[in-house]
Structure 1
Amino acid sequence: MTDAGVAESIRRGMADCSPAERKVARVLLSAYPSAGFETVARLAERAGVSGPTVLRFVHRLGYRGFPDFQEALRHDLDERSASPLRILASRPPADGEPQGLRDRAAAITTGTIQRTFDDVSTHDLERCVELISQASGSVVIAGGRYSNLLGRVLALHLEQLRPRVRMLSDQPSARAAMVEDLGRRDVMVLFDYRRYEEQTLRLARHARARHTAVVLFTDTFLSPIASEADVVLASETAAPSPFDALTPALALIETVVAGCFERLGDAAVDRMARADRAAADLGLY
């Protein structure tokens, strides 16, 4: 198995599955993680397939059997809720000679970014660019305690390329009004990483109810929003500190911005030029 969480492994594995096995995957993801703790017979019934199909699916993912799959699921649940202190406590001791901070950080960071790009879905990346660049309504962006910082980076770039890019307001009445205005012409971009936040999940469900496309940036353990999202872009979290890495997520954001710039073409260049003229007129920079 890879370093990905169980949910992300299921999502990645769907492309290689038979139609019947994909039914099992969809049931597991739509009711993750509880569906994974049901019996083989119950899971097969929910998916409308046979028991052997469920077993073939977990074997295809690389597990020896269903008990092995459920054991991995229990471990995954611990990882999904891990705090920085728990991550630090679970980190194995370094072998051999102590490595300097620069070399250690470089090895971990480059590896984390490389695995992120190796595993990200080309289809999801291109679909994300398409949804954001072609939305005829608004692109509304929101995140959580820390991930809101990532959302602001994306918003600051996108607002230079296209109109109607907005961070979801922190002010309750303004936030409610912005969410109420969502419709099928809009796109909601959400950032949600482990120790996932219920308020962000509620935003996704509200957006789906209003037929708004949902783009999710998350980690490889997969936010519960993944089952509500049209697009999921997952990044690895390994870092030299006890805190989850933001660098791989930033690399994905910069890739999406590059894709939107290419997709929008002359319209983006014209908007940037107009913004520069307005800034000069106002003495902003």
Structure 2
Amino acid sequence: MTDETDTDLPVSVAAATPTVRQLIRKHYPTLTQSERKFANALVENYPNAGLATITAAAEGAGVSTPVVARMVQKLGFKGFPQFHQALLQELQAKVSGPTERRAVWAAEAPESHMLNRFAGAVTQNLAQTFSNIDTTQFDAAARLMASAPGLYIVGGRITRSLAEYAFTHFQAIREGVTHLTSSPATWPHYVLDMVEGDTLLIFDVRRYEENLLRLAEIASDRGGRVILITDQWASPVAGLAEATFHCWGEIPSAWDSNIATLSLIEALIAATQEERWPEARERFERLDKLFEMTRLFRKN
């Protein structure tokens, strides 16, 4: 039985807009073995595995339809139709451009000043981002970026400035850090020097870039290890990444915010620095001496 309320998002989703993927992660410990089987199948082929009928979704995961029905209810949905609608809305959000994003905000904008609305959205984005970070995965990513033979960093059309910011700091912490230019035509030159065990840090947010996915595939084929920083909906690169970090960015604007993403970058920089502090300190001291020689900065 379905009615209008069947496809309304549950209160927990509407208030904080977590994705179905995040709900699975949150409730995973409470799932049975069969329910986890469906959850794993969905995450591996997200969101496509959940966009079929409940019967087809169950068959695709090798479980029964009652198992699927129970799992979606544990995630907070009233039934499969509501779960299905949430996945469709995520899919639509993934491909939306600035015009569509502004239309969504304009339709629901409160009558408060833009500064208050913006501050509220940013605060919520930060809370959502950091509350959904797996600390074990975060620590492993920091160790990987600290110890990999080489660290390569690349961003897309919008995130290239974030990649450059990350490069500036990581390059001061350790040797062997390379910033890939924003021109995909030059990427093969960088890949040429990649060796097994090198780490590729990729920034990719909606609308996701095919060139970044292809770069991740090539790097993985060469034994590279991929770390992805993406948005709450997840870049396709997530399927190749050892660690994926989701950053919330919706604000009352035609554009998404990078404030939460920048905060995550700075946390990773700090953690990586601590992983190799003796070497990092020595590099900082040498770098300061070079700055003194060049007289780049003014002394008071």
TM-score (norm 2): 0.86
Q: C-alpha separation between the residues in 1 aligned to 2:195 and 2:20?
A: 33
Q: C-alpha separation between the residues in 2 aligned to 1:33 and 1:103?
A: 34
SS at match of 1:64: coil
Shift of 1:9: 3.2
| Structure 1 residues 13 and 167, CA gap change in structure 2 (3 angstroms) | farther
Shift of 1:99: 2.5
Q: C-alpha separation between the residues in 1 aligned to 2:30 and 2:215?
A: 32
Q: C-alpha separation between the residues in 2 aligned to 1:32 and 1:280?
A: 52
Q: Could you tell me which of 110, 115, 122 is aligned with 2:123?
A: 110
Cα offsets for 1:139-173 (capped at 9, x unmatched): 11111101111111111111000111111134556
Shift of 1:250: 0.3
1:75 aligns with 2:94: no
Q: Could you tell me which of 154, 157, 181 is aligned with 1:142?
A: 154
Aligned partners of 1:193 and 1:223 also within 8 Å: yes
Q: Which residue in 2 is equivalent to 1:246? A: 258
Shift of 1:93: 4.0
Shift of 1:219: 0.8
1:263 aligns with 2:264: no
| Structure 1 residues 181 and 57, CA gap change in structure 2 (3 angstroms) | farther
Give the letter for the 1:279 counterpart.
Answer: F
Cα offsets for 1:188-241 (capped at 9, x unmatched): 111111111111111222222222111111111111111211111111112242
1:195 aligns with 2:196: no
Structure 1: segments with no counterpart, 5+ residues: none
Q: Which residue in 2 is equivalent to 1:157? A: 169
| Structure 1 residues 275 and 198, CA gap change in structure 2 (3 angstroms) | same
Structure 2: segments with no counterpart, 5+ residues: 1-12
Give the letter for the 2:134 counterpart.
Answer: S
How many pairs align?
A: 282
Q: Which residue in 2 is equivalent to 1:22? A: 36
Cα offsets for 1:5-42 (capped at 9, x unmatched): 33343344445433433332232222223222233343
Farther off after superposition, 64-73 or 2-11 = 2-11
Cα offsets for 1:236-283 (capped at 9, x unmatched): 112242210110100100111111111111111111111222233344
Shift of 1:75: 1.1
1:213 aligns with 2:213: no
Q: Which residue in 2 is equivalent to 1:277? A: 289
Give the letter for the 1:122 counterpart.
Answer: T
Q: Which residue in 1 is equivalent to 2:61? A: 47
Cα offsets for 1:35-65 (capped at 9, x unmatched): 2223334333333333332222222222222
Give the letter for the 1:254 counterpart.
Answer: E
Counterparts of residues 126-137 of structure 1 (less than 5 Å)? 126-135=139-148, 137=149
Aligned partners of 2:22 and 2:132 also within 8 Å: no
| Structure 1 residues 93 and 29, CA gap change in structure 2 (3 angstroms) | closer
Q: Which residue in 2 is equivalent to 1:35? A: 49
Q: Could you tell me which of 238, 244, 265 is aligned with 1:226?
A: 238
| Structure 1 residues 125 and 172, CA gap change in structure 2 (3 angstroms) | closer
Q: C-alpha separation between the residues in 1 aligned to 2:67 and 2:31?
A: 10
